[in-house]
Amino acid sequence: MKEKLDEQTMALRVAREFRDGMIINLGFGIPTLAANFIPEDIEVIFHAENGCLGYGPIPVTEEEQDFHLVNATGVFATRKPGMCFFDHADSFSMIRGRHIDLCVLGGMQVSEKGDLANWTISLGQPGNIGGAMDLAFGSHNLIVVMTHTTQNNEPKVLKECTYPLTAPQCVNLIVTDISVMEVTPDGLLLKETAPGWGAADIQSITEPELKISPNLKQMVL
């Protein structure tokens, strides 16, 4: 059995995409973990939908927890010099107005065209859209980080999403527990593989046909 990356390692791989000066929004789950792996030589600013730019890390002690400072996943954050607060209308003006450089979201399914489904498996239930739709429509650059397959080993990277869409044609890069794939006009380009995984292994649990990058390499972790 080949080993898949754990959540922390996927988050670390995501953080390798952070560049100096970027404004970044991190979604629920694994994306949030990426804040722990900012490369040391760069400065980035995190945006939270609930009205904050430039918040600091999760507080270490209980005394530092402040009910006036939570991030968009409802988790306590800390104050940091340079941070600012604003209301929800402003916050989403920043998002829709394409002022956010990079957004990282979790995914249930991604299609080869870069369609994203991540809020419900069925319209029969009110799932949680939250800020994900606005982020998917408004970000310059959207990374989806998710396991490559479902718990039953069914592909989550598909020709067409079967779940209701969050946004069509919005994903730029897919980071999974076994691969990194770029969404291109010609389909998905396999760029990186997790240690121990070959392109054929990855293709076998991916529905659409993958293009293999001439520079295909093992993930640097």
Partner 1 sequence: MINKVVNSFDEAVADIFDGAVILMGGFGPANGTPSNLLRAIAKLGVKNLTLAANTPGFGRLPEGTESFRKTPPDYDDGGLLIQTGQVKKVYCSFPGMNRPGMSAPLFEKWEAGELEVEMVPQGTLAERIRAARAGIGAFYIPTGAGTVIEEGKEKRVIDGREHILEYPLKADFALVRAHKADRYGNCVYQGTSRNFNPVMAGAANITIIEADELVELGELDPETIVTPGIYVDRITIREKGA
Report residue 199 CA to chain centroid gap. Answer: 22
What are residue 25's DSSP bridge partners?
103
Q: Could you say which of 2, 80, 88, 140 contacts partner 1 (CB under 8 A)?
A: 88
**Complex with partner 1: residue 162 or 218, whichever CB lies closer:** 162
Count CB atoms within 10 A of the CB of residue 170: 23
How many residues bind partner 1 (CB under 8 A)? The answer is 40
79 vs 59: CA distance, rounded Å: 9
Q: Under the criterion CB under 8 A, does residue 74 sit at the interface with partner 1?
A: yes
Least distance to partner 1, CB of residue 87, Å: 5
For the chain, what is the largest distance between any 2 Cα atoms, rounded to a whole number of angstroms?
52
Contacts of 216 (CB under 8 A, 6+ apart): 190, 191, 192, 193, 199
Token pair belonging to 113:
């065209």
207 catalytic residue (yes or no)? no
SS3 167: strand
Member of 1, 89, 200, 220 binding partner 1 (CB under 8 A): 89
Closest CB 171 distance from partner 1, rounded Å? 14
8 Å CB contact between 178 and 191: no
In the bound complex, what is the minimum distance in angstroms from residue 64's beta carbon to partner 1?
A: 13
Nearer to partner 1, 75 or 221 (CB): 75
Task: Determine the interface stretch with partner 1 among 2-10, 59-67, 146-154, 207-215 (rule: CB under 8 A).
Answer: 59-67
> How far is residue 47 from each of residues 30, 126, 150, measured CA to CA in Å?
16, 26, 30
Kindly identify the residues of this chain, within the stretch 150-179, that bind partner 1 according to CB under 8 A. Answer: 164-168
If one asks whether residue 86 binds partner 1 (CB under 8 A), the answer comes out as: yes
Q: Which of residues 92-151 bind partner 1 (CB under 8 A)?
A: 92, 95-96, 123, 126-134, 137-138
Number of neighbours of residue 218 by Cβ within 10 angstroms:
11
* End-to-end Cα separation, the chain, in angstroms: 20
> At its nearest, how many Å lie between partner 1 and the CB of residue 33?
18
The site for partner 1 (CB under 8 A) is made up of 48-52, 65-71, 73-74, 85-89, 91-92, 95-96, 123, 126-134, 137-138, 164-168
Question: So which residues are the catalytic ones?
Answer: 49
